[in-house]
Structure 1
Amino acid sequence: MDDLSALSRMIGKDFELEDKMPEELIRQKMIHAFSWLLDNDISKMMNILYRADVDEEKLKFLLLSCSELPSAEVIADEYLSRQKQKVETWKKYST
C-alpha cells in the first residue's frame, strides 16, 4: 500500500474521503472540515485530535505563533502531520 492510500485510510477513520485523492485535495478537505468543526462542534474536533494523538501543547503553540493563518488551516496541517508520522511508523514496523 502506498503512503497516500495509507494516509487516506487513516484519515478515513475520522472523515469521509474518496480513494486516491491527491494530498493537496486531502489538505483542503481537512481545512474545510476543521473550519466547520471549529464553528459547530468543538467537542467532536477535540475528540478527533485526541484519537489522532495530536500533541495539544504543540498545537496551542502553533495556533499562537501562526496567528496570521486561519486556525482551521493550522489544525488541519498538524492533524495531517501526525497522521503522516503514524503512516511512517506503521511502514517501519510492518516490514
Structure 2
Amino acid sequence: MDDIRALSRIIERDFELEEELTEELIRQKMVHAFTWLLDNDIAKMMNILYRADVDEEKLKSLLISRSQLPSAEVIADEYISRQKQKVETWKKYST
C-alpha cells in the first residue's frame, strides 16, 4: 500500500475523504475541516486531535511561532504530520 493511500485510510477514521486524493488535496480538505471545526465545534476538534495523538504542547508552540498563518493550516499540517508518523511506524514494524 502506498503512503498516500495509507495516510488517507488513517484520516478517514476522523473525516470523510474521496478515493485517490493527492497529498495536497488531503491538506486542502483538512484545512477546510479544521477551519469549520474551529468556528463550530472546538470540542470535536480537540477530541480528533487527542485521538490522533497530536502533541498539545507542540501544537501550541507551532500556533505561536507560525502566527502569520491561519490556525486551521497549522493544525491541519500538524495533524497530517502525526498521521504520516503513524504510517512510517506501521511500515517499519510490518516488514
TM-score (norm 2): 0.99
Aligned runs of 1:1-95 on 2, under 5 Å? Answer: 1-95=1-95
Deviation at 1:9, TM superposition (A): 0.2
Looking at structure 1, the residues matched to 8 and 67 of structure 2 have their Cα atoms a distance apart, in angstroms, of: 28
Looking at structure 2, the residues matched to 51 and 6 of structure 1 have their Cα atoms a distance apart, in angstroms, of: 17
Structure 1: unaligned runs, 5 residues or longer: none
Looking at structure 1, the residues matched to 51 and 78 of structure 2 have their Cα atoms a distance apart, in angstroms, of: 13
Q: Alignment RMSD, CA only?
A: 0.4
Deviant stretches of 4+, over 2 Å: none
Aligned residues: 95
Deviation at 1:19, TM superposition (A): 1.4
- Secondary structure in 1 matching 2:68: coil
- Secondary structure in 1 matching 2:85: helix
Deviation at 1:20, TM superposition (A): 1.1
Looking at structure 2, the residues matched to 66 and 8 of structure 1 have their Cα atoms a distance apart, in angstroms, of: 26
Looking at structure 2, the residues matched to 39 and 53 of structure 1 have their Cα atoms a distance apart, in angstroms, of: 22
